[in-house]
Structure 1
Amino acid sequence: MKEIEIKSTLQVYNSLEETTDDIQGLMKQAMQIRDKAYAPYSEFLVGAALLLDNGEVILGNNQENASYPSGLCAERTAIYYAGANYPDVPVVKMALSARSLKHQLITPTPPCGACRQAIAEYEIKQKQPIEIYFMGETGKVVCSNSLANLLPLIFDKSYL
């Protein structure tokens, strides 16, 4: 038997104000679109703002459905829109903000597993990492310089 150690490195900012102006602007857009999410069942709102290499910003939020698995997360809403409308333009940065209508959420909230897989697919396709910044409603902001830090053993087309 051989043991393998997997290490991820993340940067943690104490508040949004500690980040650069461009990240603050991107995160504020994620917060604004977050508050327009359609989440009547979970009351958990998520917003995503993607900065593309051409300067375009793509926004997405979670969209729920009474048939729960049929909804779509903010991250995939935004990244699939980018892929459909800007198929050859790399995603450079992604800002995510989550908010619960049931309690104050101050814990940085990373993408779910399905969204991590979708983001991984785009990193592989574009052959460059996507910086991912995530936070709750307020508080700390976490940065990963690549999805590989959040999903180190990705499933890709090499397994097919």
Structure 2
Amino acid sequence: MKEVKIESTLFVYESIDELSEDVFLLIQKAIKSREMAYAPYSEFKVGAAILLDNGEVVTGNNQENASYPSGLCAERTAIYYAGANYPDAKIVRMAISASSNNNITTKPIPPCGACRQAIAEYEIKQNVPIEIYFMGKTGNVMRSNSLSDLLPLVFDKSQL
């Protein structure tokens, strides 16, 4: 047996005020999208904004359903919209903001596992890393330079 160590590198900003102007604007779009989320059951709202290499910005937010598996997360809502409407565009970066009506979210909240897998599919398809910024309602913002830092042992088409 041998031990394998896996490392990820993430960057932490104290607040959105430390971000470059273009990233700040993308986060603002994610926040605006979060506020429009439909989350009557969990009361946990998430917004995502994606910058494409053609300059377009696509947003999405979580959409819940009384039949829980039928809902969809913000990240997948945005990424699938981008794929459906701009199939040849590459995703440059994604910004995510999450908040709860039940408590104050001050820690960065990363994409769930299903969203990580969906983002991985697009990162592998485009063969270019996707920069991901994520935060709670307030507080620190984290940056990952690639989905592989959030999902180091990705399942992809090469395993099929």
TM-score per shorter chain, which class? over 0.9
Specify the alignment match of 2:44 in structure 1: 44
The structural deviation recorded for 1:123 is 0.2
Root-mean-square deviation (CA), in Å? 0.4
The structural deviation recorded for 1:121 is 0.2
| Residue 141 of structure 1 pairs with residue 113 of structure 2 | no
Specify the alignment match of 2:124 in structure 1: 124
Structure-2 separation of matches of 1:156 and 1:2? 24
Structure 1 stretches lacking a partner, 5+ long: none
Aligned AA (1:143): R
Q: Look up the SS of the partner of 1:11 in the other structure.
A: strand
Task: Give the structure-2-normalised TM-score.
Answer: 0.99
Specify the alignment match of 1:86 in structure 2: 86
Structure-1 separation of matches of 2:122 and 2:18? 28
Alignment of 1:59-138 (within 5 A): 59-138=59-138
The structural deviation recorded for 1:94 is 0.2
Specify the alignment match of 1:154 in structure 2: 154
Structure-2 separation of matches of 1:2 and 1:85? 46
Q: Look up the SS of the partner of 2:27 in the other structure.
A: helix
The structural deviation recorded for 1:56 is 0.2
C-alpha deviations, 1:132-152, integer Å up to 9, x for none?
000000000000000000000
Specify the alignment match of 2:28 in structure 1: 28
C-alpha deviations, 1:50-89, integer Å up to 9, x for none?
0000100000000000000110000000000000000110
C-alpha deviations, 1:96-148, integer Å up to 9, x for none?
00010111110100000000000000000001000000000000000000000
Q: Look up the SS of the partner of 1:37 in the other structure.
A: coil
Specify the alignment match of 2:11 in structure 1: 11
Report percent identity of matched pairs. Answer: 69
Deviating beyond 4 angstroms after TM superposition, the runs of 4 or more aligned structure 1 residues are none
Structure 2 stretches lacking a partner, 5+ long: none
Structure-2 separation of matches of 1:150 and 1:72? 20
C-alpha deviations, 1:3-55, integer Å up to 9, x for none?
10000000000000011011110000000010000000000000000000010
